[in-house]
Chain A
Amino acid sequence: MTSPEQVIQAVLADLPRHRGVVVDSPPGAGKSTLVVRAAAHIAATGEPLMIVAQTNEQVDDLVTRICERHPDLTVGRLSAGGYVPPLRLLELPGVTVGTRVQDLGDPDIVIATADKWAWISGRTWPWAIVDEAYQMRSDKLLRIAALFDRALFVGDPGQLDPFSIVDGDRWSGLSWDPLQSAVSVLLRHNPDLPVHRLPVSWRLPASAAPVVSRAFYPFTGFRAGTQPHERRLELSTGGMGTVHDRALEEAARSGWALLELPNRHTVRTDGEAVQAVAQLAARLLQRGAVASSEQGERPVTAERIAVGAAHRDQVAAIRNAGVPPEITVDTANRLQGREYDVTIVLHPLSGRRDATAFHLESGRLCVLASRHRHACVVVARAGIAELLDAHPSAEPVQLGVPVKFPDGWEANQAVLDHLAAHRV
């Protein structure tokens, strides 16, 4: 088995040898660490570097990490006009914030979102790092590819594919289909580029890594970086035997819990399910969970809990149902790349009459089921397995489109199968 360090060394060694290098990273496998390492490695050669991330939060996170790790590097953070940098960013030494490249002086590293980079022209960088490259649509890459000579693409192939509000069938099968991810288009045109894989998830506990790996990364796979006994979640107060309490106890014990509501077809903002999610979140705080891991022991505070759902109206409904305001409640799209101790998930297929491609997309469930360091509680109505059986994927097969793995239907079944053992 290759160690993560060997992979990182191989990546750094490949950088000068190829025009592009791709690194696949399963959830929590140290992708950001790799980006920071590679950034410092390139900056040490004295050549300027540009970094592309997808959202402002990702950019800010990266800036913070780079400065903490390598305080000697100067970082320029490019932003759009309306952006207000968080205070923590302004306090960092060596960081300048500006809307134009000229305003930044001449920093070692310039970092911005892909959308912002698309407006930059008139200068090129010898090196680029593209973070979350699987979440980046290839048309965005097209707009910025002229800015750099060589690039390192880092991302998680199991997460959500980029999407569009319009029908893109007319381009399917084209090697430069603008709706495909930046990495798929890059690799179709440059099949000889090296692809590395990070083998270990530091985030997912030993209870989750095999499940997620089997369901969403069936061919590449990864393992947990910790042993089962290294991660413990304890509830410091006793329960009252309600279903919510029992679900939390099951999750604390095994790392997973499925709170199953009676089978029913409901509207998207299913009142009962929303209420259950909100109560679980509130109850988790009340019971004073304490998480102990290789990083030491700490209480599971509201900032360390996340609630995930598939649709924005579900998120709004859950928030209105009385979830403590410090707890993050968001859609799968926005939870990508984030990490929490405990997550509470409203299953995308809960209460539905049909299973559309949107709900079957494996990335959606993968994001929701792989944000936690300790435990994940899923709320769902009974009958999802039957629903899946009634809706095998029936998308038309397009010529020239590489088959995508894993199949969303299979991944959903695999996760359900595992959850069934933790049903409350």
Chain B
Amino acid sequence: MSLLTSLARLRALEEGIAQPIATVRHCHLSERPMVLIPLRMSGEAAAPLAAMLGTRRDDPRLLVVTQPRNRDLRFAWTADLAAELLPYIGSFLAGTETVERKNADPYERVLDAPQILVPNQAGIAFVRLLGRSTRFRRADGPYPVPETVPLLGRWLTYFGERAAHPGSSLMTAATEELGRHWASGQSGLEDANLAALMAWITTGPSDDAEDPLVWPPAGPATDPGFDAEVLATAIEAGAAERITEALRGQLEPTWRLMWQAVDLLRGLPEGASVEQRWEQDRGSFSAMAAHIAEGAPPQARRDGAVAAASRLARMERAQAAYEVQRAYDDPLVMAEYRLTGEAFAGEVVETEPEHSEGEGRSRKLRPLVVVKTDDPVRLAPGTALGTPQRRAQGAQLVEARDGLVTVKITKGMGRGKTPAPGSVPEVGERVCYTSLTDDFQGSPALPEAEATPWTHGGPPREYTPSDEDALEEWS
């Protein structure tokens, strides 16, 4: 936990209300998000019990497995879930735009993509497991299932894996997103309780959040008391109606909280780079849709050597970009870097806009700017700098001493003998420079999977669907 977040948590505790740690929203929020609250039968990893889902707060759909030990009923439930989710996902595939690429064929990208919101990280893990347990099922052979089930499994797997991609908003957990924007006065572990976190943000902490009778758990785990006293007796009695109503009672409070969380996040203005990250989400979603349309096999059970390395490279790239973009978008996030000496902000006290270096033809315009700052500057001369105020600008640290920092602008001031208007800060302007920059080099090529070298176990065996897939452990 960073210093500023620790401070915000202490302040939240003292004042009895969560403190904002972001001034803008760092995630995309769809106009038509799919809120999904899954519940699991306790004792099994991925045995669905119920789910409440929908895109409108006044119209939740409740799907229930009245006997979660019955596998036929589970798959029937999954087919019902598919009947809700697949049309939602499909509704985004119609509108597309053509995207031109350098050194590659243009591709079609959807104009908008689905967004699934679950209450917490455990919800994401459950969705991924559900995908894992359904994507290898088949509509023929032993134990056949409706053909929408494996298709849904592939989509759930996709959303579950994409949720681990830094900065992606295709599927997010409400507690995670809220925790990125507000600091409560409780521990990170306690923040995973949606009711508790929402109470901190809205009215202040309350013991009710811990009381399963007031706020039932947001899933996928259910309250053991409810399991023993209500659910077990209803299931034993075989009373489908009672089971459904009991589960509705467990899910409805969380449903209301989820939409409240959406309102809270919507109240924040969107960060400048959110659009760009959502564009990547749309691209990724389009690629997945194309993949399925081409009839490609379901995602592998485990990443092969090459797939793992390539996913890792993508995720590292996204993580680095996400951190930089958040700092550029939000002065409160940038403040963390100012504290560690990787950024500084202050007032421009002197400029030399027509300063140049070199002679004759190699003469280059290099405007100088002197910034007065109270921040501890821990950057070495020559460090490349960027600035949130002028994103196209590149600069270099010349010298930092006694609270005065000299910066040389190296990019984004035009090609003329004098800088383009507005490209060099004026005296008196407040500016911020940082060594965080978002220009990363591409990563070098990986071998094809078939050419996996001997150091990594050689080429993998090809996957062929077989009847054995259906015999897998489901629990």
Contacts and interface: CB of A to CB of B under 8 A. Distances in A.
Q: Do A and B bind each other?
A: yes
A164 B454 contact: no
A404 to B, nearest CB: 20
Interface residues of B, number: 33
Interface stretch (B75-83, B108-116, B285-293, B445-453): B445-453
B245 interface: no
Interface in A125-151: 138-139, 141-143, 145-146
B457 interface: yes
Contacts of B3: 267
Interface in B278-318: 302-306, 308-309, 312-313, 315-316
A313 to B, nearest CB: 5
B388 interface: no
Contacts of B316: 164-166
A174 B312 CA distance: 14
Contacts of B451: 146
A20 interface: yes
B312 A166 contact: yes
Given A119-B444, A139-B312, A166-B166, A317 B457 contact: no
B320 interface: yes
Interface string A162-186: 0011111011001111110010011
Given A142-B447, A165-B320, A189 B455 contact: yes
A185 B376 CA distance: 43
A335 interface: no
Nearest to B305: A176
A178 B309 contact: yes
Contacts of B313: 139
A208 B304 CA distance: 43
B69 interface: no
A168 B313 CA distance: 11
A346 B340 CA distance: 18
B146 interface: no
A142 B457 contact: no
Interface string B429-466: 00000000000000111110001111111100000000
A316 interface: yes
A227 interface: no
Nearest to B314: A166
A320 interface: yes
A177 B308 contact: yes
A176 B302 CA distance: 11
Contact of A165 (B319, B445, B454): B319
A75 to B, nearest CB: 23
Contacts of A174: 302-303, 308
A118 B456 CA distance: 16
A176 B453 CA distance: 11
B446 A143 contact: yes
Given A142-B447, A189-B457, A316-B378, A179 B319 contact: no
Contacts of B212: none
Contact of A146 (B303, B309, B340, B447): B447
A253 interface: no
Interface residues of A, number: 37
Contacts of B341: 313, 316
A138 B456 contact: yes
A118 B444 contact: yes
Contact of B455 (A115, A119, A121, A142): A142
Most buried by A among B302, B316, B457: B457
Contacts of A119: 444
Nearest to B452: A142
B456 A171 contact: no
B268 interface: no
B454 A19 contact: yes
A189 B320 contact: no
B164 interface: yes
Contact of A190 (B312, B443, B446, B455): B455
A167 B444 CA distance: 21
A124 B304 CA distance: 24
Contacts of A121: 445
B302 to A, nearest CB: 6
Contacts of B443: 118
A416 B308 CA distance: 39
A189 B458 CA distance: 9
B457 A313 contact: no
Contacts of A317: 378
A262 B340 CA distance: 25
B76 to A, nearest CB: 30
A178 B455 CA distance: 12
A184 to B, nearest CB: 11
Contacts of A178: 305, 308-309, 312
Given A179-B312, A313-B340, A313-B378, A145 B454 contact: yes
Contacts of A316: 341, 378
Contact of B457 (A118, A175, A182): A175
Contact of A186 (B320, B455, B458): B455
Most buried by B among A115, A176, A179, A186: A176
B95 to A, nearest CB: 32
Contacts of A189: 454-458
Interface in B149-185: 164, 166
A148 B319 CA distance: 32
B378 A185 contact: no
A145 B456 CA distance: 9
A223 to B, nearest CB: 32
Nearest to B446: A143
Contacts of A143: 309, 444-447
Given A143-B445, A166-B166, A174-B308, 4 more contacts: A141-B455, A142-B447, A185-B456, A190-B455
Interface of A: 19-20, 115, 118-119, 121, 138-139, 141-143, 145-146, 164-168, 170-171, 174-179, 182, 185-186, 189-190, 267, 313, 316-317, 319-320
Interface of B: 3, 164, 166, 302-306, 308-309, 312-313, 315-316, 319-320, 340-341, 376, 378, 443-447, 451-458
Rank and list the top 9 A-B pairs by shortest CB-CB distance, nearest first. A316-B378, A145-B453, A176-B305, A139-B309, A118-B444, A189-B457, A166-B315, A145-B455, A178-B309
7 contacts: A138-B309, A167-B164, A168-B312, A171-B308, A174-B302, A313-B378, A316-B378
